[in-house]
Structures are given as C-alpha cells and as structure tokens.
Structure 1
Amino acid sequence: MRFAHRTLRAIGGAAMVGALVLGTASAASADATRNSQWQNKAFDIDAVHKVATGKGVTVAVLDDGVDGTHPDLTNNVLPGKRCKDGQPANRETLDDHGTAMASLIAGHGHGAGNGQGVLGMAPAAKILPIDIFENEGGPVGADNPHACEWDEAIKYAVDQGADVINISVGEDYADDTDKAAIAYALAHNVVVVNSSGNDGAEEKRGLASVPGVVQVGGSTQDGNRWDDDDGASNYSKSLMFTAPAKSLIMATANGDYEDADGNSHKSDYLTTDGTSMSAAIASGTFALLKQKYPDYTPGQLVNRIIKSTYIAKGVDKAKLPDAYHGYGDLSPLKALTADIPKGGADGPWDLSTLPKASGDKGKAAGNSSDSASDSSDSDDSNVLLYTGIGIGALVVIAVIIVIVVVSRNKNNRGGPGGPGAPGMMPSPHAYQQGGYPQQAPHQQQPPQWGPPRQ
C-alpha cells in the first residue's frame, strides 16, 4: 500500500540531502534522519525512555505487511499473518504503510548506539503485523479490498497476545460484529487505536466512532489541529485527543514513489502528513503506559492521557473536549509520570451500548489460561494413573515374593543347599525394569496459540 502522492515529499531541506538510502548514507545524513523527528524533541523522548520503552508489550498493526528486515526494526517484528493466505506478514517488500507505522511505534534505529534512523515511541515493543488487504502494492483507499474483516483481524490480534491494536486505516462504517470485536478486545484489556482520517470532514459512522476505540486526530508542531493545503484532520464528537500528523519521517519497505512534482524517489525513509501517523504515535505511547501500568484497563490508560494533554496556544481549555481537539494534544512524558487518579475501569467511555464479551480467548487460536487449565487437569489425571500403577506393581511383587518364599520353604525341607537356597530371591527392582517402564514426569507445554512475549 502506498501513501497518497499528494502527501508525499522527499526528505527535503539541506540537512536531508543525500540521506535517502541507508546503504550509501553517511553517518551525518543518517543522523539527519533522527534529527528530523521533531515530535521526539517535542516529547523529550530521552526522558520518556528513562521511564518506559515498551518492553514486554506487543502492538498489533492492522494494515499492510511490515518489513521486519529494515535496520530500524530488526528483531522487533513478529511473524504475524497475511489474511489473504495465512503466510507471515513480516517480510513486506511492496507496500510502505505498515512498515512506516511500525517504525513510529517501535523503531529502534541502527548504527552505533542505535543513534541513526527512526526512533519510535516504544523501541523495545514488539510489532505483530496483520496484513488485512487482498492486493499487494495497491493505493490507499477502497480500490484495495480487505482479505479479512475488521472483527476477524481484531480478534486474531487479541488471541495472539496483542496489548495494543493500531489501525491507521479509515473505515466508513462499523456494524454489530465490529462492536462485538471491540468489546472482545476491551474484555482482554487491549487498547484499540484508530486514526480519524485526513479529509477535514466530520466522521460519525466509522470504527473510530465505536465506544472503546481511541480515535486520534492530527496536530502540527505547535500542538494545534492539522489543517492546511496538504489535508486536514477529520473531526468528531468521539475524538479523544490529537497527536503529531505533520512532516513526519518514517521507515519504508519499498520506498519507490513519486512526489507531488512527479519526481521519482527510492528511499528507506519518507516524510509525509496524516492522521495515520497520529494513531501510530498514540499506539506507541499506549505501549509505554502498558509497560508502566500493566494492571490498568484501556479506559484507565486513556484517562491518564486525556488528563495530561498539552493545550496549544489559542485553544480554549474550558471548551474541551471538542470535536476538533478532543481533550488536547498528546503529552507522553506527563501521561507516564503525572500524579493522576486511576479512575473507573471504563475511563471516559459509556460502554453500555457494546455487547457483553467473555474474557476467554478464542479456542481456534489457543488460550494460555485454557492451556494451563488443561495441563493442570492432565497432571491430576496422570498422578492418579501413576499412583494406581505403582500400587498394582507392589501388589504383584508382594504376591510373587510370597509364592517364592512358600516354594523355597517347601524345597528347603530337603536340606541346605537345595533349590531356592538363600541368595536366589529375585530383586523386586527386576520387575520394575522389565514389566513397568519408568514414566517421565509430566511437563506442562508452553501455550502454542501465539508468539511469546519478549
């Protein structure tokens, strides 16, 4: 999947000249990539990463595939799944969108001290790529049909152990199956993040309008809503907060594209605008919060963000939340460290309209709790089985001993040295060696339903 051409630009400016291809880029040009991440400077990312890095957290990216071989993402991308054929989704070579989102979430950079390339919000988090599209290399939009429905992809992500689900793809509607999938995610404490869209329009019916989904709008460098000639953040009463959407640099899988002037570029990085990136940055922030507050519900994590937002100059705080800014602009360090009450489990949402969902995970994908329960039951059954076998063995041995002793006593009536003399009694251990092979202790197998947590 390619980014819309109208939002693409070469990584421009004097600082970025010659910085496009990793294989030939100098250290200075690679550093320029890192230096171009204005949002990290605004967030004081070094201070953020002293608090949390996303370690132990998995973020599912429902998009196209992700290039797990990109030097800024190596070892951070799990196999995942392509919906169209069930194959892994971590070796994307045609589409850039999923790789770009993954880099903003969990890019760790490369080079000495990982000081070059893209640094994401949660560089120690794992990415679970789920390629939802039927066609490879298609444009963003309705021309590329889905190979799996949203509810299927969301439930798969939950069952594979995702803690956060990033959806940087718009959808014009949300039906009852989608609502059930969101309820399923919330029942497992999984945060679902969705971008608001880039058309500057009101969006009432999409997935992001469902209670329990974190709808994220776009902002610019000054913290105000993104709204310029290149596009504008959609607005909605469901908008929760905004996050950077303007002039963001990201990693690519293919990097072969044309800019607005029709010039062709081949690059490991690109710079573009859009609320797709806002959602990815928010998802990375939720990964940080998940690490620090693992027992919090999605609603309680959202509560930390909306009570720690940055209010840009010119925005009337007294009128927030509103349809354009939500509760304000994302401030990750404050969300991680501020003294904010935990609040109710549902946070700012009214979840009464969602269907009830079980906390049990799907059997098809497996379930760690179910596996543990099954193994426990199996352990109990095996203990009883082995105890019965042992008692039976002892009974047989005792009977044989009695028979042998009685036989010897009868034979010994002929005098010492006859058959059955002392020293010829068979050892009880001989029967264990031959008739009752030793049983290996039962070992509980690790769950096979998804990727291990790292």
Structure 2
Amino acid sequence: MTLSRTMRALGATTLAGGLLLTATPIASADQVRDAQWPNQYFDLQKVWSVSQGDGVIVAVIDSGVDASHPDLTGQVLDGYDPSGKGLNAHPTDPHGTSMASAIVGHGHGAGNAEGALGLAPGAKVLPIYKADASDRSADAEDIKWAVDHNAKIINMSIGGTMPDAQMADAVAYAAKHDVLIVAATGNNGVTPVDYPARYPGVLAVGASDQDRKIWSQSNYGPEVLLSAPGTRIVGAGSCSGGQYCIGDGTSGSTAYVSAAAALIRAKFPNLTAGQVVNRLAKSAYVPAGLQASKLPDQHYGYGIIRPYEALTQDIPDGSAQGPLAKPDGAGDTASATKTPAATASGTSSPGVVGPGPVAQPPVIKSNSTASTVLYAAGVGVVLLAGLIAVIVVVSRRRKAAAQPPAYGSQQPYGTPPAWPQQGQPPYPNQPQQPYGNQVPPPGYPPQQPHQNNPYGQGGNQQR
C-alpha cells in the first residue's frame, strides 16, 4: 500500500517521507482553536443548536485513531485491525486521528475551550485499520466489517488509481444496508478521481479553500458530488511529539462531509443514505459562475457543504437513491436493511451511543472583530430580554396570586438565549494561491512546497 499526504505539525519544520514532522513543543491551545477556520465557516454553535450527531456511528477506515488524545476521549469505539496488530487503537501514523478529530473532536480543558473541535461531537468514531497482515489493502473487508458493526457512515480519506472487484462488491453491500460511504477524490489536481470515490454509490468529495474556491490539487471528474473545507486543516494527531497537525487535502474535506452526514442522520433518522446526500446537495453553497442547471460541476459537485442549512431548510426527501449513482448488486435502496446503533462496547442497542449530547458546546473562538461585536451585542440583547421577562413574570404573579393561570397558558421563565447570529463567515480576503505558497498564520512555520508522492502510482493512497 502506498501513502501520499501532506501534513505537518503545528510549528513543524522537518520533512520525512512526504510527512512533515517536528519534535518542537506543540502549539498553544489558543493557536489550535483559532487556526480552525472551518469552525467559523460552519458556524458550529448554530449547527449544534440543531444537531450534534448523537447516536450516529462513523467508521473511519484509515491509519487508526488514538482514543487517548484529550480531544477524543469518550468518542472512539472499539474498532478492528485485519492485520492483527491492534493499529486501529494504537496508530503509528497521525492521519486517522486527525480525521477523527474533524468528525467528533470535542476539545479539552475548562468548558472544552482548548484543542481541536469536530463538526459532529455527539457522534462516535469506529476506527478500522486499512491494511492486512501483509500490508495490503483490506478496504473491502473493512467496509463489510463496518456495516456489520452498526456504522451508518464510512469515512474513507484514502484513495488509489486501480479498481478492485471486491471493493465494488463491498460498496454494493454497504448500499444494500443503507450505509453511506464518503471518500476523497485525491490530491493530484487531475482527472479522474481516485477509487473508491469513483465507484457508483460512493459520495466523492473535493476540497475547497478559505475563499470558497476549489483547491488546485483537488482531483475532479463527473463523480464529484460535494466539496468542503480542505486547506490548512488543523487536527489532533501525534506529529513527532506534538499533539496537532496541519495539512491540505481532500482527506479533511471528506471527514467534514462525513460529519455533516452524521448531523443529518441524527436529526432525520428515517432518511436513506441517498436522501441524506440530497439534503447536503440541495443546501450547498454554489460559487458564482456555476449554473444550477449544469450541476454537479466536475470540481465542486453540487457545491460546498453548509451543514446548518442542510439541517434547517425545507427540502423534500426525494427519491431513496438521491443523487448517488446506484452500484451494481445493491438491490432496492428503499428497502435497505436498517442497522441499529451500537454501545461503546460494540454491542447492538436500539438507543443512542455514548453519553448523549454535549451539555455545553465548546467555546468557538474567532479572530474577527465583527464577530466579537455581534456576539457582545447578542449577549446584551439576551440579558435585557431576560430581565424584562423576569419583571413581567413577577408582575403577573403578583396580580394573579390568588388565581394561578390555567394549564397550557403558562409561559416559560424568561427566554432561552439564542446563539449569536453571524453574517458572512470571516473568509480571509486573499487571492487563491498555488498549493504550497499559502502564507501561514502567525506562529506557524513557513509552508513547505508540495511533495510529490514518493511511493509512485497505484494502490491506496492516504489523502
């Protein structure tokens, strides 16, 4: 199996085998949270007011996930390693941990105000190692194992150039059981997209940047259905002694789309996998210049995901297949087998997984002065509304002390605070630059040039 990815530790300077590593101290917690620009694009607090992905299991077929990372504690289920080495839980490569943190990261510290956040912190990750004992691709076996162990979404931030009949069968198996496979298109800036993203029935994801433009190295083709943030993505992972990595690629985009699908499956549990994709597609941001009649675009697909809109817009369910191509041998998606949720030990249960919703959403930080002003104004309005409500309630109680209100006419005490409304997300006003030439944020090392895949073509490539 060959690997190709560009990740670096926060503060990294050392290049090793295509993976940028460092032995320097980790970046500060504030730097990690502030550097997660997709948090502001998604407007996580608005999203979490509707869904956090509770009860949904996302299988991550990758290099394994470090469940002991402080930003992932309690979010990682027992997984599977077909090689028998236990790498699903004890990875030697940080890639899978980084993908998991983009999906279910909850931060750490007081109020979870430090560290990396994911888009769906109420979901659970099922880590599955990608190779067998001979270090050959085990993706087909991994997919079937994930389906049989209650995953509703399978994240595959990996890819290769060669088709595999067993993989095609595994994709059909997932479709028959109403399990959504989300896969990266690849990081070479060419067409066609990699496998498994190229298989019918798989949701192929491209990468966009902070200006909502497609990343120049994102592979493209007619299979692309959606795009999502994929440049300068900060995630958890042991990068040469540090606890966080930063990287560009369709890997991160894929993880975010998997997380968005988890949000929808939690909010609308009766939708099929295709109908989940339909909600994401119908609510996506369509860049200027793209004609709706000509979507999906070969680079953007139906557009860049907007999870809040996907959760709240009035979108008809549509057909069971949705915009997904139907894989051969998948049968009737409308009558697909529904798999139950799973407990932390991996046993079947009709209930939700784990500890349920996050009681207090982690703190979202923004460097935008406008966002700070809006937030302060929103807090002031909420406090004033609450004070007025208290005065009104007390006055009414005094007037009606002898006669309590009838059942059904009581009003709630005060008004529950709403998350501050933000306008346009704070996108840096910078022109699109070639990969490898982006200016890093303060405290970051100079961006290293893009590394060509040192392992050659073919096989599975981790994105």
What are structure 1's unaligned runs of at least 5 residues?
A: 13-17, 136-143, 257-265, 362-366, 370-445
| TM-score, scaled to structure 2 | 0.67
Point out the structure with max Rg over C-alpha.
Answer: 1
1:338 is matched with 313
Aligned twin of 1:145: 135
Tell me the residue number matched to 1:251. Answer: 236
Distance in 2 between the 1:69 and 1:45 partners?
24
What's the CA shift string for 1:219-262, capped at 9, x where partnerless? 011211101xxxx000010100111111110100x311xxxxxx
1:127 to 125, 128, 136: 125
Alpha carbons 1:83, 1:147 under 8 Å: kept: no
1:8 aligns to what?
8
Residue 70 (structure 2) aligns with: 71
Instruction: Check whether the contact 1:21–1:268 (CA below 8 A) recurs between aligned residues.
Output: no
Q: How far, CA to CA, are the matches of 1:118 and 1:95 in structure 2?
A: 18
1:147: Cα distance to partner? 5.5
Out of 208, 216, 219, the position equivalent to 1:234 is 219
In 1, the alpha carbon distance for the partners of 2:25 and 2:51 equals 31
Counterparts of 1:448 and 1:226 in 2: how far apart (Å)?
A: 39
**Larger helix percent:** 1
Q: Which string of whole-angstrom CA distances, capped at 9 and with x for unpartnered residues, describes residues 25-70 of structure 1?
A: 7xxx312211111011011111001111111111000011110000
- 2:210 pairs with 200, 216, 221, which one? 221
Amino acid at match of 1:222: D
CA distance in 1, matches of 2:255, 2:6: 20
Instruction: Tell me, in whole angstroms, the C-alpha distance in 1 between the residues paired with 2:122 and 2:340.
Output: 23
Partner of 1:39: 38
Tell me, yes or no, if the aligned pair for 2:106 and 2:117 is still in contact at 8 Å. yes
How far did 1:170 drift? Answer: 0.4
Aligned AA for 1:172? T
Q: CA deviation at 1:79?
A: 1.5
1:86 is displaced (CA, Å) by 6.6
Q: Distance in 1 between matches of 2:200 and 2:329?
A: 7
Other structure's SS at 2:162 match: coil
Q: 1:112 aligns with which of 110, 113, 122?
A: 110
Using CA pairs below 8 Å that are at least 6 residues apart, which structure has the higher relative contact order?
Answer: 2
Structure 1 counterpart of 2:434: none
How far, CA to CA, are the matches of 1:98 and 1:90 in structure 2?
10
Q: Does the C-alpha gap of structure 1 residues 195 and 368 become closer, same or farther in structure 2, counting only changes over 3 Å?
A: closer
* Long gaps (5+) in structure 2: 13-21, 355-463
Q: 3-state SS of the aligned residue for 1:95? A: coil
Counterpart of 2:278 in structure 1: which amino acid?
A: N
Rate the CA distance shift 1:20–1:163 in 2: closer, same or farther, 3 A.
farther
8 Å contact from structure 1 (residues 179, 354) kept in 2? no
Instruction: Identify the residue that residue 262 of structure 2 maps to in structure 1.
Output: 287
TM-score by length of 1: 0.69
**Shift, 1:176, TM fit:** 3.2
- Is 2:9–2:242's contact at 8 Å kept on the other side of the alignment? no
In structure 1, the residue matched to 2:96 is 98
Equivalent position of 2:160 in the other structure:
171
Matched letter for residue 98 of structure 2:
A
Shift of the alpha carbon at 1:355?
4.4
Alignment RMSD (CA, Å): 3.0
Secondary structure of residue in 1 paired with 2:158: coil
Counterpart in the other structure of 1:413? none
Structure 1 contact 79–88 (Cα < 8 Å) conserved: no
CA distance in 2, matches of 1:167, 1:173: 16
Offset from partner CA, 1:81-112 (integer Å, 9 cap, x none):
111017472233x2101100000011010001
CA gap of 1:205–1:267, structure 2 versus 1, over 3 A, is closer
The 1:37–1:451 alpha-carbon spacing in structure 2 relative to 1, beyond 3 Å, is: farther
Give how far 1:311 is off. Answer: 1.6
User: Given residue 304 of structure 1, which amino acid in structure 2 is its aligned partner?
Assistant: R
1:368·1:449 contact (CA, 8 Å) conserved in 2? no
Q: Which residue identity does 1:255 align to in structure 2?
A: C
Kindly state the Cα deviation for residue 318 of structure 1 after the two structures are TM-superposed: 4.2
In structure 1, the partner of 2:145 is 156
CA distance in 2, matches of 1:339, 1:248: 31
